[in-house]
Structure 1
Amino acid sequence: MTEKLTIAALRDLKLISEEEVGAAVEAFLANPLAPHFVFKEGYRLDLGKAVRRHPGADDFVNRGNAGPLMKRPFVLAAILQARPLRE
């Protein structure tokens, strides 16, 4: 059942930590083309796909004049709303 939950729901259930969510955000900001991010409990997420599927994040992240500090909250929102796969 937990396979269809969002990252935010999994975090609230303590299956994914706040630190892991932060690491996922930083991983995307460092390399938007990075491979899947794998969380400790075996959940994996295509960070680029999560951002592309989130309308606000996709628009904002692709702006040339937006720096990492401005992109971070949008990337965080996209990741929290994404539904990871379970390995």
Structure 2
Amino acid sequence: MAKEIPSVGDLRRKSEVSDEEIEAATAAYLADESAKPFAFKYGHTIDVAKAIEMHPQARALLADEKTKPGLRRTMVKTAVILGFPVQG
């Protein structure tokens, strides 16, 4: 059986990714949507833009200019938590 790829949320439960790192990845994307993939302390990286692209609700809300900043932050953070990092 193939090994399941852990999400950022799974890695957070294992203490391989901290809440502070998730917040930092979120803030980095909100500051610059073309930012490079975010590197977590334990060697995992996540392409936040790709995580958003893979999350239909986040993609739709972030494309809408009327979406308020607080909801934008929440949707980016959700996409990060549900996204799949790569081992770097």
TM-score scaled to structure 2, two decimals? 0.91
Aligned residues: 87
Q: Which sections of structure 2, spanning at least 5 residues, go unmatched?
A: none
**4+ residue stretches of structure 1 with deviation over 6 A?**
none
Q: Cα deviation per residue 1:28-49 (whole Å; 9 max; x = unaligned)?
A: 1111110110001000011101
Q: Cα deviation per residue 1:11-63 (whole Å; 9 max; x = unaligned)?
A: 01000011000101111111111011000100001110111110000000111
1:32 aligns to what?
33
Query: How far does residue 68 in structure 1 lie from its aligned partner after superposition?
Result: 2.2
- Asked whether the 8 Å contact 1:37–1:46 carries over to 2, the reply is yes
Equivalent positions of 1:1-87 (< 5 A) are: 4-87=5-88
Which structure shows the bigger proportion of residues in helix conformation?
Answer: 1
TM-score scaled to structure 1, two decimals? 0.92
> Percentage identity across aligned positions?
31
Q: Distance in 1 between matches of 2:83 and 2:71?
A: 20
Please identify the structure whose Cα radius of gyration is greater.
Answer: 2
Q: Which sections of structure 1, spanning at least 5 residues, go unmatched?
A: none
- Asked whether the 8 Å contact 1:29–1:68 carries over to 2, the reply is no
Alpha-carbon distance change, 15 to 3 in structure 1, aligned in 2, over 3 angstroms: farther
